[in-house]
Amino acid sequence: MKNCQEFYDCYSPFFGENLVRVVEIGAQNVNGTIRDACPATFDYTGLDFVAGNGVDIVLDDPYKLPLTDEFADIVVSSSCFEHSAMFWVLFLEVMRILKPKGLFYLNAPSNGSFHRYPVDCWRFYPDSGKALETWARHNHLNSVLVESYVSDQTDDQWNDFVSVFLKDERYLADFPNRIVESKEDFNNGVVHGSSELIKPVFISEDVKKLLAIDLIIKKQIKINLS
């Protein structure tokens, strides 16, 4: 929820006062809904593979979105792509329904427990966003990764990989702000136009915690032996 709120805070002001259409993929309200982070004036459509709270349209095919070309200004998806067996196919569908100036907010776990819903296939690492940009270009799209990062853990095991894509790179100047410019609790940030990682980290937060616990145990053993 925090990551999605930061996305809207950063990018939604640049859509002006016209009607803004938002489409969420994986919209069922299971443990809360990112619909609550969306500005109240935006038009919202929730898609999911099953009916449920927060779902406006149930998908017959998980790789075909029943919306016209260039329908949406913004597509959002949180904790869904790890459950898509072929998320790269779904990514192309997202690009299809986005307007040329449209943004795609993708949030998927970078670590965490195996959790079938109904399957659990993937985790996303810092280079995943650039890989999807390459996939888009391979399919003759002018899509671009605007930014990405891995957020810090907050009272649980999860580190979220967050990325923002623009359907057509020609509109990049229309979105001058970046989430990572004001955010502190993240690592391995990527911004368009730079090959350098922001706050690079090569040991996961889980491993850091395990190493810290191991050090404490070794110190305690040393004290006991002495």
Q: What is the mean pLDDT of residues 34-47?
A: 97
Please report the pLDDT score of residue 37 as a whole number: 97
66 phi and psi, to 5 degrees? -80, 55
- Residues 52-77: pLDDT tens digits? 999 999 999 999 999 999 999 999 99
pLDDT for res 178: 98
CA–CA separation, 156 and 167 (whole Å): 33
Calculate the CA 150 to chain-centre distance: 9
- Output the CA–CA distances (angstroms, integers) from residue 39 to 15, 28, 35, 104, in the order listed: 12, 19, 9, 16
CATH number of residue 107's parent domain: 3.40.50.150
Quick check: 53 and 20 in contact, CB under 8 A? no
The reported pLDDT for the residue numbered 30 is 82
- Supply the range of the domain harboring residue 165: 2-225
Q: Does residue 189 surpass a pLDDT of 90?
A: yes
Q: Is the pLDDT of residue 223 over 90?
A: no
SS3 223: helix
**Which tens digit of pLDDT belongs to each residue from 153-172?**
988 889 999 999 999 999 99
Mean pLDDT for the stretch of residues 102-119: 94
pLDDT for position 202: 92
Helix (H, G, I), strand (E, B) or coil at 86: coil
Number of domains composing the chain: 1
**SS3 category, 28:** coil
Chain centroid, CA 60 distance in Å: 24
Residue-level pLDDT at 118: 87
Please check whether residue 116 is in contact with residue 63, taking contact to mean a CB–CB distance below 8 angstroms: no
- Of 6-20, 77-91, 209-223, the range with the lowest mean pLDDT is 209-223
Task: Decide: helix, strand or coil at residue 112.
Answer: coil
pLDDT(32) > 90: no
Residue 17: per-residue pLDDT: 85
Mean pLDDT of 173-191: 97
Rounded to two decimals, what is the model's pTM?
0.93
- Distance between CA atoms of residues 116 and 68, nearest Å: 31
